[in-house]
């Protein structure tokens, strides 16, 4: 689920997902009054891409279900609980691609499978390549993407609270991945060299 501006190569380039700049945001209907938002963290992941042949591309990502943030500690516990994410039994969700389909120069679809609550089901994710290039201080090469998908929570066994919580969950992914072999920043800050005195 990535693209890189490099010379033609027989091998797909490898990128590791940067958890600092990667977000999974979701929302779901709440009693018909509003849509409630939450966030999850991608803790580990690898993206591979061949610019000349997208069929060589792949993605493998792990999401920490205990990281769910609904804006309220008590609600976080409910969402992590057995009736919903069931994070006590399976702490992570895992997405792995089967193939990557190119639609145009900037857009494609990842065909793959999501494992959530011990259930593995096919999940196709349309995505857009935002930018690939060096960061402002040239520390590393970053590939950035946006994606959106809808998931029916009941297909993964989350069948409770149907009268108050919607069935379809809208998910947005904002992903930054750093080219393999290049330094990963330990914080959100990139500091240029100090000017000469």
Q: Determine phi and psi for 81, rounding to 5 degrees.
A: -70, 175
Q: What residues are paired with 179 via a beta bridge?
A: 15
In the CATH scheme, what is the code of domain 13-179? 2.40.128.110
Rounded to an integer, the average pLDDT of 122-138 is 92
Q: Which is nearest to 40 in space by CA: 74, 3, 66, 9?
A: 66
**Mean pLDDT calculated for residue range 15-39:** 96
Structure tokens at 22: 């990667």
Instruction: Report the pLDDT value the prediction gives residue 158, as an integer from 0 to 100.
Output: 96
Phi, psi dihedrals of residue 64, rounded to the nearest 5° = -85, 110
Q: How far apart are CA 36 and CA 197, in angstroms?
A: 53
Confidence of residue 181 (pLDDT cuts 50, 70, 90): low
Residues 6+ apart with CB under 8 A from 197: none
Residue 96: strand, helix, or coil: strand
Q: Is the pLDDT of residue 113 over 50?
A: yes
Per-residue model confidence as pLDDT tens digits over 36-61 = 999 999 999 999 977 778 888 999 99
Q: Where are the domains of the chain?
A: 13-179
β-strand partners of 49? 13
Q: Tell me what pLDDT residue 196 has.
A: 39
């Amino acid at each position: 689920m990535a693209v890189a501006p490099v010379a033609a190569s027989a091998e797909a380039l490898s990128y590791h997902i940067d958890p600092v700049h990667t977000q999974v945001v979701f929302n779901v209907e709440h009693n018909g009054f509003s849509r409630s938002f939450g966030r999850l963290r991608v803790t580990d992941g690898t993206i591979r891409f061949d610019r000349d042949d997208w069929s060589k591309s792949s993605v493998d990502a792990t999401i920490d279900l205990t990281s769910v943030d609904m804006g309220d500690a008590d609600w976080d516990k409910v969402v992590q609980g057995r009736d919903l994410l069931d994070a006590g039994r399976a702490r992570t969700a895992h997405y792995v691609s089967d193939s990557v389909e190119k639609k145009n120069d900037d857009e494609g679809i990842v065909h793959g499978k999501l494992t959530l609550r011990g259930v593995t089901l096919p999940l196709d994710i349309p995505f857009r390549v935002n930018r690939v290039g060096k960061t402002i201080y040239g520390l590393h090469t970053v590939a950035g993407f946006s994606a959106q998908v809808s998931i029916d929570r009941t297909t993964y066994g989350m069948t409770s609270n149907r009268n108050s919580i919607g069935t379809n969950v809208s998910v947005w992914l904002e992903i930054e991945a750093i080219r393999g072999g290049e330094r990963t920043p330990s914080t959100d800050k990139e500091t240029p060299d100090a000017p000469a005195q």
